[in-house]
Structure formats: structure tokens, C-alpha cells
Amino acid sequence: MALTLIPTSSVHLLNSTSVALPQIFAADFNLRSRWRRRPVSSIFNFRHSLPSRTSLHCLCSSSPAASPMSLEVSTPNSQFLDSLIYSRAYWVTQGVIAWNVDVGEGSCYLFASKFAGLSFSEDGIDGYDVRIKLEAESGSLPAHVIEKFPHIRNYKSFKVPSDLDSRDLVKSQLAVVCFDAEGRLIQGTGLQLPGVLDELFSYDGPLGAHFTPEGVSLHLWAPTAQAVSVCIYKTPLNKSPMEICPLVEANGVWSTEGACSWERCYYVYKVSVYHPSTMKLETCYANDPYARGLSADGSKTFLVNLDSDDLKPEGWENLADEKPCLKSYSDISIYELHVRDFSAYDETVEPENRGGYLAFTSKDSAGVKHLQKLVDAGLTHLHLLPTYQFGGVDDEKENWKSVDTSLLDGLAPDSTEAQARITENQDDNGYNWGYNPVLWGVPKGSYASDPTGPCRITEFRKMVQALNCTGLNVVLDVVYNHLHASGPHDKDSVLDKIVPGYYLRRNNDGFIENSTCVNNTASEHYMVDRLIRDDLLNWVVNYKVDGFRFDLMGHIMKATMVNAKSAIGSLSKEKDGVDGSRIYLYGEGWNFGEVANNGRGINASQFNLCGTGIGSFNDRIRDATLGGSPFGHPLQQGFITGLLLQPNGHDHGSEATQELMLSTAKDHIQIGMVANLMDYMLTNHEGNEVKGSEILMHDATPVAYASQPTETINYVSAHDNETLFDIISLKTPMEISVDERCRINHLASSMIALSQGIPFFHAGDEILRSKSLDRDSYNSDDWFNRLDFSYSSNNWGVGLPPKGKNEHNWPLIKPRLQDPSFKPQSSHIVATLHNFLDLLRIRYSSPLFRLDTAKAIQERVRFHNTGPSSIQGAIVMSIQDGRKGIPSISQIDPVYSLIVVIFNARPSEFSFLSPALKDRNLELHPVQVMSGDETVKKSVYEAFSGSFTVPARTTAVFVESRND
């Protein structure tokens, strides 16, 4: 079969032409290298490979003269025909097909082929079993259809006959074709089915494996499948199944009953289904989407009952009663950590446990002792990067390829050799962040001591239990916005094998959307929404986790997030063994791609989540504090990195421009410090009283988006992009000392730790962690991601970071790594840690830092040093508690009646006179009085004048004790 490609912009050049397929891609689109890596059957799944200015119309040709790798071009009837590789029409309800065509006086038909035999010819369409006349309707699509599919709101509506057996028809290859008044074929295309599948087959009954004393039952939702059977294997190594059982379908759900002996066996579904990506009836072998265990190689689902007693660590049933205390979401603080980073280099952990779940159970290890220090200072939640079954790391450790790091230890700090050796094996070693999901409901096998059988289950539970006993709640990083693989044959494809074209979001041509990276999922479809909710409940009930961080949450529908929050919140210790009301949800509310501005329904973006109580990351405070954005120039300075006050040589514009930039950054930070509340009133840099929602970013988007403090996650660094210390080392002038950079690192952490809302810290911020300036270390091995809890090194200068994402910045990176003055000593690391612990102690010394309502924040928090006459580079914030003479504010702090925090980002001492704060009994916070930081102790307040003096690059906290 040849592929006929007609670029609509140049058809006159292609008429009667035959060109080799790779050549035309190389010549027109410069995609030759990508073409070599992709089979013909899958090239169209990568629609982002094609220039948006060119649309390709593909025809299937059976001409014997056409070779399999040639491009045969023709223009039947002088019209362009859409190939069936496209799916540009939507079967949105049982009675309506939506298509962006106008048939005029012509006619439209639905064609079906049970055995995928449809093809276009000069005379029309061949190979069909069924032909149904569709009636074009006037007017727009029904309102409920537009609500569900807003991106096709302007499509035409075609009425499907009411007596059509749609349930059976969706199992076939389908196409809609329109003809002109003379019966000549005009256009034809395949169909997207999620709308009609949701209407006919939405299902809330059992799915996955269910265990009873009588046996095991299996349930699979696969309404488009023509046949399903299950292959049962005694062991994961068996090549041949011990049993093959056909499943029986009822309303789109296939099920079977098995014997008790099936438990602890392995299984694979064999699904016969039409797959639009290949236009063939395919036989797909797939794991269960509701898998709870896997074989070591990931090829088979483990039939495991998670309620079995032998899978529960001692005391597991009582863990809900022993969880760390959490009175309010406002009390949460979050520490983000990768499982492997935590212990891969920790020699105090048993060698067999390094880099895995059990490292968290080693009570006497350096890493666990470090976590205990954080907990003792107040930290509440540990956020683990993905721990579900992800691709990119083989679960069988014997297959890993590793680098002899002894060969790297003596290299120059700016050597290219380390990154070259690391990247040779980066796809075959044991390291990856894990943002490439294969199965959401199974713990990752590479972090277990044995990836086969129940080991990964029991060890994951032991990890959660150990962390809870340490005093930490456990947050899982979940990635529901995309999947690692698709298509009928990829070993990591699961959902797209079982119901092709349903779970993955497709564009208007029918190709998979890839704006999140690859294989975007479609939570606007009912059974995707359900699978996400069921998976979250699995982790809460079966693993007793305490929260979830949603990757690219903006690509998930708001309704899915709200429904998930409600379902989790309804769990109780009496009924479910867990208290769902203490589970916190937050994520990345970015608004981009095909879902932007509610393009596929109301999405879970920052502004849309207002009022839900679901948190989203505040990029505004991050960018204003550090400068620029992760997508801008790396030398762009910000509030703490020297903008205007200590230039680094980068062109930031005129002095007036820089003054405006710095003043605007201050406004953004101050709104962030009051949890990014939309209705909070403050005085901006122009001297006007404005709401947070009236302070705008460069694109006129409001800075503030939250209605309550727990909807804002404040942060300055995370696993993405450079570490905090690294970004400071890039943005600050090269001539400043490492001591000054350490102070700036601490200043950044203080602005997060002492803000309202929920503070979030990347693991290692508190010990000056470096990745040798790597901006994207997702696949940079342990070498660039190393954490050292012995505090002897921060991993600075271990070589130029990997070429792929960093080479364009090597000219900036190289001189910094070469300069020995950039590298902190152990004394710097230890001092930074102690200062960070002091910040946590201060935050948890008073409920005034953790106000839980917008009203309380508006009443109590004030900013001084504001307006056009304010001193640049400094923020003065006061938090008032109720006391005698202020009846309008209740008392919530038994110790302090007033707190004043001064953030001095200036490279010089800051003095400030405040009439509003004079004659108070303010003193330096006792934690800072006892601090090892001698500089902060020089901070002074004079009551008679209301004068404050704070040293350069210092955060000083003054408190008024009730005892005074």
C-alpha cells in the first residue's frame, strides 16, 4: 500500500508526480532524521513534526505500480480527498455526527467495515459492510455537545438515524463521506468516537481484578473491541499461557470468572480491535489499565490482592491513627525529593537499599537523619517525584549500564568528559525523573529490591509507614496529563491498545495532541476521568498516602480535579481505613496548548481553580524573586539577584526601565506573600490602592488568582530548571563572593518560608544543592543529581552539564565552573542548613505565618515601604494579632501580638522609619537571637522612632511578645 500525500499549498506542482517518500519529507520539511526513526504506520501520530502551514491529505492506493516507499499523487475528480488516516469528523452523540463540511445540495453517508476494508477509489468508497444516509441539519450543534467539545462549536450537525445499532457499529472501521449533487465523491474522513462512547458506554461498575473466596473476576472496559480474551501465566517467565479464557461482553465491559488458583499468577489481555493509527484490525496484547502489580519486565500484570495480610507491614492497619498531626492545610510545608536522589550516594544506607524505597526505612542513615532535622523544625510533607510504573528505566537492575564514576572524580570542573560519558548510557541506566507514565496504579519496580511479585508493594508501604513515623506526610507526584506510549504494538502502550482513540486527546485532524510532551490524555472523556479518580483512590486507600501533586494539571479538566477531591474527601477511617479530609491536592495550573482558555472544556488552570481549595504553583513569585523566567535569558536579574542595585553586565535596559522592573517585581512578590489572593488590597509601586487581581504581568494577565491561601503554592525552585543555588550563581555578578551567594540563597528561601500560602522547597535548597548548572537533569544520571547529606559537597563543578539542553549556555557556564571561588565549602553548606532550619522554626513559632482564610490575611497583614517613595530592594511586612485596643481582630497567637518581617535584598544595609510601627515592644525573634548567623543579629529596632536597620541580604524577623 502506498501513501498518497497532497500538500494543499502546492498541488499544482505534484500532479502526476511520483517521489520517494523520505526525500519529499527531507526536502519540504527537513524531517529526514525523524522519519528514519519512525515506521510509516506511525508517522502521522507525530503531527507536531509537520509545519502548521501545510496540511497533508493522505490517500490509500492499491496501485500495483506504486512501490511501498513511493509517493503516488493523484487528484480524483479534481478534488482533494481526505484519507482515512485522518479523523476529522466526530460522532458526538448517538444521534449526531459533527463535521466541518457544507454538503450544499449534496449528500452525506456513514460507512462501516467490520474488517477494516474501507478505501477510496475514483468511483467513491469501497470495502464497506454498512452504508447509512445522514441528514444535514440546520443550526448549530446541541448546547450539551458544544459544552463537551467546545473546539468544534462551529461544526455542522448531521443526524444519525434513530434505529441504527450504534453499539455494534463502533466496533468497525468508520468513515463519513460526502458527495455532490451528481453523486461524485467530494470528501471523506474517519470518525472520532469518544462522544458516542461516553453516551452509550459510561460505566461505574467494577474494573480490574476482584477477589472473593470463590475466585477471581476480571473486568475490562473495551466497547470498541471485537473480541477479548485473557492469557493466564503461572510465572512471569512463562512464554506460553497455562490458560486462555475468552471474556464475555455486556454493554462495553468484558468480564470473566476465574479460579482461586489464578491469584498471584500473571495475565495479559488479548484484544482484537480496529486501530485508527494503522487503519487495521489489530490484535493487541495489553496489561490491565487497573493493574496493581507487574512482572519484572513489565510485560504481564500480576494478579495480586492488595488486601492480603502478607503484603501489609506490621502495624499497617493502624497507620491512619498514627499519621502526623495536621490541623489545617495552611500548616503544610512541602519538600520535593526524588526517590533515587535521596540515597543513591548515601554510604550510610545498606548498598542493596540505595536508590530505593527501603532507604527511607534506614533510621540511622544520613538521609533519614537529615529529614528528621527538617521535621523537628516544622516540615510537614515530603513530595516524591513519580513512583508509579514509568518508562525510561528498566526495572531489572542487571540490565542497567553504568559509568565508572572513579573516572570522573578527578576531571576539571568544566570538563566535557563527564557529560559525554553519562549521556552515552542515559537511556539505559537507573535514572529518570519518571514523567513518562506507563501504568498509573503500580509502584515503580526499579525502586524495589525485587521488581517481580509483591515486593514493590510491600516495600512501598514500608516507605510510607517509615516516613509517617518520622513525622512526614507523603505526597505522590502523579502524571495524568500524558502517557509514555501509544499505538497497537509499543510495549509501553496500554490504554491506546484497549480503546484506541479514546483515552488520548486528538486534534481536529484526528492525530494525538502532544503539547504536554507526547500522548496527551483526555480527562474530558468520562472513563478517563473515572480512571484518574479510581487511581487516586487506590493510592490513598491501599498505600495510605497523604497528598498528590499533579503534573501539568492545567491539561486536566477542572471537573476531574473537583470530583477527585470530593471522592477522596469522602473517605473515612471507619469505612475506608483512611481519613480523606486530610489529603491535599495541588499541581501545575499552567494554561497552554490545546486546552488553553478552556479550549477543551474548563481546565484546571490557576484562575479556574479559584474557590476549589486545590493548590497551584505560583510562578509569579518565583520569577519576580529570581528574575526573568525559565524560558528567558539566564542572566536576567530579579529582586534578590541584583536587578538595578548590583548589575551583572546583561542588558536590562535603561535605569528607568530597571527601576520599573524592580518596583513591579516587588508588587508581584508582595501579592505572593499574601498567598496570591485576588481581593487582597495593597499599595502598589505607583501609590495606588489596588487588588491583587489588578496587578498585572507583562501580558496583562492578573498576578493574583487565588481566593484562599491554600490555593497557592509559593516556590522559587523545583526539580525543573536549575537549582536555587545554580540560578543564583548564574544571575548574580561574577565578582561577588560565595558568602554573598549563600546569603542570597537563604534570602530566597526566607521569602517562601515566611509567606502566607503553602511553602514548597526543592530538596537541597537548604544545603546549596548544585547540578553543575544543568537546567534539565531528568535524565542526567546520579552524577549531576547527587545529593550529599554528609554536607561535604554541594555537587558544584562536576563537569559541564549534558550537552543536549545546556550547550547553548556553555559559554556562560564554563567560566563560572572554572572559577574556584564559586564552590561553597562544607562550612557554607552547614551554615545554610542551620539558617533554613531557623526559618522553619520561625514559621511554626506562630500561627500568624499560617493564616487560613483570605479575610484573616486582609485584616492582619500589611506592607510598609510602599508607593513611589519606597526604598528599592526591600520589603517590610507586618502581621498583627488581636490585642487590647484592637477589638476587630481576634487573638490566635498566645505568644506574639505583632510580627514584623524585613526582607533586605539590597547589597547594602537597609534603614527604614515607620511611624505606624513605633512605640512597640519589638525584638529580634528568639530563634534569630540564638542563630549561628552573626549578621542577622545586627538587625535593630528602635521603639521611640519606629526605626529598623537590617544588614545587607538579610531577612530579619521582629516579634512583640505578649509577656512584654
Distance, in Å, from the CA atom of 881 to the CA atom of 847, rounded to the nearest integer, reads 10
Distance, in Å, from the CA atom of 642 to the CA atom of 645, rounded to the nearest integer, reads 5
36: Cβ contacts below 8 Å, ≥ 6 apart = 22
Assigned C-alpha cell, 388: 508509579
Question: Scanning the structure block, which residue is given the C-alpha cell 532507604?
Answer: 359
Q: Taking a C-beta distance cutoff of 8 angstroms, is the pair 89, 190 a contact?
A: yes
By the 10 Å C-beta count (0-12 exposed, 13-18 middle, 19+ buried), 632 is classed as: exposed
Task: Output the 3-class SS for 736-750.
Answer: CCHHHHHHHHHHHHH
Distance, in Å, from the CA atom of 48 to the CA atom of 319, rounded to the nearest integer, reads 47
Catalytic residue among 336, 513, 524, 551: 551
Q: Taking a C-beta distance cutoff of 8 angstroms, is the pair 249, 269 a contact?
A: no
Q: Taking a C-beta distance cutoff of 8 angstroms, is the pair 246, 519 a contact?
A: no
Q: Taking a C-beta distance cutoff of 8 angstroms, is the pair 529, 495 a contact?
A: no
How are the residues of the chain apportioned to helix, strand and coil, as percentages rounded to the nearest 5?
Answer: 30, 25, 45
Catalytic residue among 198, 395, 414, 588: 588
Tell me the CB-side half-sphere exposure of residue 340, using CA atoms within 13 A. Answer: 23
Assigned C-alpha cell, 851: 493564616
Which is it for the CA torsion 258, 198, 86, 109, positive or negative? positive
**In this structure, what are the phi and psi dihedrals at residue 441, rounded to the nearest 5 degrees?**
-100, 15
Judging by DSSP bridges, how do beta strands 896-904 and 954-961 pair with one another?
antiparallel
Closest residue by Cα to residue 753 from 474, 470, 378: 378
728-762: b (≥16 Cβ within 10 Å) or e: bbbbbbeebebebbbbbbbbbbbbbbbbbbbbbbb
One DSSP character per residue, 509-540 reads TSPBP-TTSS-BB-TTSHHHHHHHHHHHHHHH
One DSSP character per residue, 748-779 reads HHHHHHTSBSEEEEETTGGGT---TT-S--TT
Annotation says 297 is catalytic: no
According to DSSP, the residues that pair with 473 across neighbouring strands are 381
807: Cβ contacts below 8 Å, ≥ 6 apart = none
Assigned C-alpha cell, 946: 519606629
Q: Taking a C-beta distance cutoff of 8 angstroms, is the pair 440, 535 a contact?
A: yes
Per this entry, what is the length of the chain? 964
Closest residue by Cα to residue 895 from 886, 883, 885: 883
875 sits in which H/E element: strand 874-880
Distance, in Å, from the CA atom of 325 to the CA atom of 339, rounded to the nearest integer, reads 24
Strand, coil or helix: what is 261? helix
Q: Taking a C-beta distance cutoff of 8 angstroms, is the pair 918, 943 a contact?
A: yes
Q: Taking a C-beta distance cutoff of 8 angstroms, is the pair 552, 606 a contact?
A: no
Q: Taking a C-beta distance cutoff of 8 angstroms, is the pair 530, 441 a contact?
A: no
| E strands present in 85-172 | 89-93, 96-99, 107-113, 119-121, 124-126, 130-137, 156-159
Neighbours of 154 (CB within 10 A): 10
Annotation says 551 is catalytic: yes
**Catalytic positions, please?**
551, 588
